[in-house]
Structures are given as structure tokens and as C-alpha cells.
Chains A and B, each alone.
Chain A
């Protein structure tokens, strides 16, 4: 059982370049989300999805796009990278229901934009 798999683990981009962070889960979780972690600011929600074909914005969505064509995958796209997007990115998933749904996190992707 792989859990939540993020690729790549490290990436260096130049300002203006585009890239996609991949996230896949094999737990049949309905809910998937992307967070960014910056020093002194904790984790902040970028985008989330409660099922295939459904996405919504989180706290810091600007500069990022997402789509959810399958239950398993939730890629995060940076269309024109900026130095302010230098961060560690986490994908997380969980079951969707009325209980205390525990998020399972991926190992993180460190992105540097020069």
C-alpha cells in the first residue's frame, strides 16, 4: 500500500517556467488537497477536491491550477513560476465523511524558483 505518492521530490525552476507536481493515492480517498509550507507560516491550503471533477480554492490559490479527472490523481500546475512560489508542497488525502477524517500526507516536494 503506497499511500500518497508525490513526484518529483525536488525541482528547481527558472522564473516563468511551468511545471506540474504530481500526486497519486491508492486508498480510494474521495478528498484530496494541496498545501504549501513556508518557514514560520505552517501549512496553508492551496486547492482541494472532494471528488473527481470537483475542485475548489483554498487559502492561497493564486498562481496554481488543479484538476481532478480520476479519483486517484490530483496534479498541481504552476503555469508561470515566480520566486514567491519557492516552498515545500504537500499533497494530502482522506476519506470524505462526517467523522474526524484523518489526512494522509505525501512526503513533500521541495520547489525552488530562481
Chain B
């Protein structure tokens, strides 16, 4: 069975600074995908970034980037130049590849507060 672990229940960062959220996962699969979702106070789930396990290059989306360490089964999210709008719950999630199903397995989340 696959598991996703987020060991930081809460984090705080000053506006304009950089913060890294941790995520580790466990799987015996070789084909899979990893995601970070953001959930602001509005409750809407918003995709932040995704990574295909077969790609060695770390994914980036503007101020968001990941550090994907496949051997260590680690998938951390770095937010640069933090903004007040980044305040949200962040979820790391895992999906087995191959397309049989699109089941997402979520971690328990990290609540990020960006301080002015």
C-alpha cells in the first residue's frame, strides 16, 4: 500500500522569504506521479505543481518548485518570495501511473501561514 507523510503540521514564514514543505512517501511502484495541492480558507483544492516519477528534472511553476529525491522517496515543495496569498493548507499527494485509476492518496497536510 502507498502512504504519504507530511511531518510538519504547521509552518510560518515572513512575507518575501522562502519556505520548504516536506513530504515523504512509500511505494513499491516504479510508475507514479506526485502532486502538491493548495487549500486556501475558501476550501477550494488548487493544483500547485506535479511531478512525473520518470522525470529526473524537478518541476517548477513560477515561485513554486520541488525537490524530488526518488531514491529517498522525498518530494518537498519550495515556495520562493512568499506572498500573503500563499497562506493555505498544503497537501502532498501520490497517484499510481498507468491510467487504471486516478486515485490520489493524500498526506495529512501542512498549514502554512505567511506573516506580513
Residues of A within 8 A of B (CB): 31, 33, 35, 40-45, 48, 50, 56, 58, 88, 90, 92, 94, 96-103, 105, 107-108
Contact = CB atoms under 8 A, between A and B. Distances in A.
A98 to B, nearest CB: 4
10 contacts: A31-B102, A40-B108, A42-B106, A90-B45, A100-B95, A102-B35, A103-B104, A107-B43, A108-B44, A108-B45
Q: How large is the interface on B (under 10, 10 to 19, 20 to 34, 35 or more residues)?
A: 20 to 34
Given A42-B91, A43-B91, A100 B104 contact: no
A41 B4 CA distance: 11
A98 B99 contact: yes
B22 to A, nearest CB: 15
B102 A96 contact: yes
B99 A97 contact: yes
Interface of B: 4, 9, 33, 35, 42-45, 47, 50, 52, 91, 95, 97-99, 101-109
A45 B104 contact: yes
**Most chain B CB within a 10 A radius of its CB, from A33, A100, A101:** A100
B70 to A, nearest CB: 15
A108 B52 CA distance: 27
